[in-house]
Amino acid sequence: MHEWNSLQCTQAKPITVVVTGAAGQIAYSLLYQLAAGSVFGEDQPIDLRLLDIPPMMGVLEGVVMELQDLALPLLKNVLPTADPEPAFKDADAVFLVGSMPRKEGMERKDLLAANVKIFKVQGEALDKFAKKDVKVLVVGNPANTNALICSHYAPSIPKENFTAMTRLDQNRAQAALASRIGVSVDKVKNVIIWGNHSSTQYPDAAHATVEKDCVAHPVSKAINDDAWLNGEFVETIQKRGAAVIAARKMSSAMSAAKAAGDHMRDWWFGTKPNQFVSMGVVSDGSYGIPKDVVFSLPVTIKDKKYTIVQGLEISSHARAKLDITAKELEEERAEANAVLQQ
């Protein structure tokens, strides 16, 4: 009995994890991952804060019931709320999932206008109430520019603490390459998503490797089909989100939640040696990208801090793709600023 008590006393202190849009579909898949320990570790207790809009509070109560019924020992407390102050109070990690959802046929600029004001309010709340070392992952689209807006309105929190999710695109690209080569998905590493989480993104396999017989080979040599790599592969990943919406009549949820967990877990625990991942981060001018846009870049992570991978060769073909997606992000930034000044 005494031994059991001592074990209980040594359990780690809970961290506070916030999920916005908590009554929505992505959160529904994400919350189990968080509560089960697959993101922050199997020994890390968590306090969950679930934020959504007032009309969704009834649905959110049902989500809370299910979280209770999971009977997971790491989940210490759950707070459902429509108020940003208690939601973000002393937050350690935040998943900004809630946004105006993209619907079939919706123009990106319309989506942007609807979301700008949401992320201004959340940025201001984070600035006032969250810990200054909080890790903020923006999932709600348009994620890159939403992250930029959120960061702008939280000036006391370092810009590098705001990232946008392009891990879903990375996972899609990794899976497509693995399928083409005929290996399991874990054998493909270092595929890059450059730019925006939109149809202008550039999925780049030029630096990717595939493990065969315990030896890493360039993906480009394993596939040996540049026309496919520069054509169908890129277009498939760029349009995958739209294809899911067309088939499902709703945007990606299960795969988006998995990607959000992947992104935050790597940010929390770090990347493996000789591996990098793609994250939307505030540009510092690397690779000739305009500064002060949130651009997906290859990064390595150690001690909860990311470093942009430097020195990768960029072909003229890739350069043209990077310029296109950078231009779109500059246009989004201008449109967002225009909305905020109205």
For residues 23 and 79, give the distance between their C-alpha atoms in angstroms, rounded to a whole number: 13
Cα 330–333–338 angle (5° rounding)?
Answer: 130
Q: In a 3-state reduction of DSSP, which class is residue 23?
A: coil
Question: What residues have CB less than 8 Å from 69, skipping those under 6 apart?
Answer: none
Establish whether 197 is a catalytic residue: yes
Cβ contacts of 184 within 8 Å, gap of 6 or more:
178
Query: Any binding-site annotation on 110?
Result: no
> Looking at residue 161, what DSSP letter applies?
G
Nearest to 281 by CA among 271, 291, 272: 291
Is 230 marked within a binding site?
Answer: no
DSSP 186-251: GGEE--EEEB-SSTT-EEE-TT-EEEETTEEEEHHHHH--HHHHHTHHHHHHHTHHHHHHHHHSS-
Give the Cα separation of 246 and 223 in Å (integer): 29
Q: Is 337 annotated as a binding residue?
A: no
Are the C-beta atoms of residues 309 and 299 closer than 8 Å to each other? yes
Given the residues 152, 197, 207, 263, the one annotated as active site = 197
Give the number of residues written for the chain. 342
For residue 175, give the H/E element and its range.
helix 167-181
Find, among 157, 316, 181, 171, the residue nearest to 237 by Cα: 171
Flag whether 108 is marked binding: yes
In sequence order, which residues have a C-beta less than 8 Å from that of residue 302 and are 6 or more positions away?
A: 270, 271
For the record, the structure tokens of 13 come out as: 């202190």
63 belongs to an annotated ligand binding site: no
Provide the residue type at 315 as one letter: S
Asked whether residue 180 is marked as a ligand-binding residue, the answer is no
Rounded CA gap, 149 and 293, in Å? 10
Instruction: Output the known binding site for substrate.
Output: 102, 108, 141, 172
Instruction: Output the known binding site for NAD(+).
Output: 52, 115, 139-141
Residues with a known catalytic role: 197
Instruction: Output the known binding site.
Output: 52, 102, 108, 115, 139-141, 172
